[in-house]
Chains A and B, each alone.
Chain A
């Protein structure tokens, strides 16, 4: 069993209309069965109202299932009388950076979780220093959160979760309210935590670019998990994603359109570098076809290859700059 596992999970909430008597039962998620391995980087995709946040809140026992079961590190969330024990295993970062920072100084906020868990004072300080260093915010420790940028606030929120030493961090659209720089900051921090600290990361998002480095992707629609697999498997099915009102990464979309217009490209291209490489391969093939005889063509194609390599390199540099 993985760190987070659910079987036939379903959740109903009540929706109140204009009238008091007008109460509707709405099923937010239905029949969700997932199994997440420790140390994985998981992404959950879905458009608004697809139930991805509801699912996330189950992982943190903020919501308890109406039907089915959710296990976090082997604990059945519905049967645990002290829910905060579940919550310290799966920390959660929310969308709005302002609404989740409790302390009025960065380090006090990071210490809030350990305080609640009853960690001794000295240990709180080591944990705070450690987690602020991990997210690269140690030099802002004395500042008021109001003076930080959105990306920095979100990193503080992540540090607050890291200080609780969870096995797993659930991030519910952590970049939705940030500018591109802030998004980069947060994503870099999260993937570093995943790689270096082996923390299981569950990233909920609707930005496709954030998903391509994940180990496993779940796609949700109207409460169900409709697709799952590696990013490449998911993004190979551009038509299906479009039907679910989801975008694909720009590069994948470009490759898809090129393929539709007759260029021989494989499915599921995820990065710029891959596309460049594939296009080079295709162009070489096309060039070598009409002049397949004679040594001259080989020479030119060799020359092409070299220049192509140079172009690829410059492209890579551009990529890292971004």
Chain B
């Protein structure tokens, strides 16, 4: 939560005039709009841009980038604003490019199982659009994020364990480069296009190497059968062991989420559920009717051997939706545990073989913390979150939370893990880049410099100053 040192250039009147001339009322400098574009879902202090522009085409995005480039003014892509590490904050001022009006599904190729969308299409909008095709887009980070934003942050979520992350599901991109040129990477053929795999470079670059304006995504066949289950465990350790055994047996489990007792308590209150306040796994199985039954049987056997109780099934769509909505609302639910709090979320990912140990040691830290801390996560991937609830009237808690986060990150790095499994670096984890990557950061900085020599694409993110 270190406040970045930022310096803002005065915003050139000439640039504003040029934007106004071109975009008319699609340029805004209204306080409310600026404020809305200066924050995300993190606890980082707001940093509004100097102007917000709402382009409707890739060519318009390119024009904005060129105009801003002429004046040396930063540009920041903005989608749903659901990032968690200050990715969209205009810490050096500049123009926020709001892509939500680029919200068209451009082409569904049901036979080839791919789709091309504009960056502002949200994942729920896409799945709504696909509803009659027998196909779906599985990546589900919880928030109804835009697909451009999800590509830019290499998002994942609850079913990455089965379907992968954005990294495995983006086939191609349209990107506006720092000089305003437009490129198309990858494509609809299975192997990405000739040359370097630039798609992989732009996916997860957080708007620092180019602005993603269109995304071609791989779609998946809707499973014939889906069933979900919850199961309580005597300890977090037992729950984690159940997951490890499941993965090891090659059970193609679609989702596998751990919620600790504190989180379950919060979820019960928030979503009106009556789950046992114990560590629980939320699982989901996709496949043919026979394979789902087989998977569920296997997992149930494993769970039982590890002391699992209250195995409960949800095969009806509405029951499943209720369950997963509760899981997705876990963050909001936890925030209700303390009135008027500021929430701070950690995001480490460790090798699965170290997960139980890592969580156990983390609980020793939590036990010493004076504020409420809930733990939940995507244990099938080794990725878990702590939600630390801070009282804004007690600023010393922020330092305690920082220290707790640092301990959790250092432990993860020692165990061969990463400081961030899915939230990204933004401004919040920049301080860990050198510790995690060492000299490799200098290569990332060289790439940034070489693709964005003026440092105008979302400056101050990912690469330490």
Query: Does chain A bind chain B?
Result: no
User: Which positions in B face A, CB cutoff 8 Å?
Assistant: none
